Amino acid sequence: MKISKQAQRQTRRLFRSCLADGLLDHDRVRRVLGILSHAKPRGWLQVLARLHRLVKLDMDRHAARVESATPLDGDLRAAMVGQIRQRYGRGIEPSFQENPALIGGLRVQVGSDLFDGSVKTKLERLASTF
């Protein structure tokens, strides 16, 4: 969908108004969406679609997914959370999942960054060299 430059500027302005101390405030997003849907300014559907995209990208940027073959104990989980927050700042919400297909090691994804130290990936790389 083509969006006008004015709508792009308005969307960026609305998105920045939803930030509190550099983090997305969901209550502010709800208020902005309510005002936008009630006022219905010119190109409001385009603004709404672009705002949805910006909010989704920001939420993905602040979410971390840690996968391991076996459940991690409490100390290791706390250490992982500390290292992730040290590297990416506050506001990161890690989630821990078990994936037996990894065989061993960890796979950590934060936004578009992927750190894959799993045995499965190493075996696949080794198999691709032959």
What DSSP state is assigned to residue 62?
A: T
For residue 58 the two structure tokens come to 């920001």
Of 60, 85, 104, which marks where a domain is finished?
60
Average pLDDT of every residue of the chain:
92
Parent domain of 39: 5-60
Same domain assignment for residues 118 and 76: yes
Q: Which pLDDT score is estimated for 49?
A: 94
**Dihedral angle, C-alpha 17, 23, 24, 26, nearest 10 °:** -110
In total, how many domains does the chain have? Answer: 2
What DSSP state is assigned to residue 4?
A: -
Task: Count the alpha carbons within 13 Å of 20 in the hemisphere toward its beta carbon.
Answer: 5
Same domain assignment for residues 40 and 92: no
Over residues 21-34, the pLDDT tens digits come to: 989 999 999 999 99
Tell me if residue 38 falls in helix, strand or coil: helix
Same domain assignment for residues 114 and 97: yes
Report the predicted TM-score, pTM, of the whole model to 2 decimal places: 0.75
Beta pairing partners, 108: 66, 115
* C-alpha triplet 62, 50, 17: angle, nearest 5°: 65
Over residues 92-102, the pLDDT tens digits come to: 989 999 999 88
Same domain assignment for residues 45 and 11: yes
Segments in the chain forming alpha helices (H): 5-17, 26-39, 44-61, 74-88, 119-129
Q: Are 102 and 68 within 8 A, CB to CB?
A: yes
DSSP 89-105: -TT-EEEEEE-GGG-SS
Over residues 61-71, the pLDDT tens digits come to: 899 999 999 99
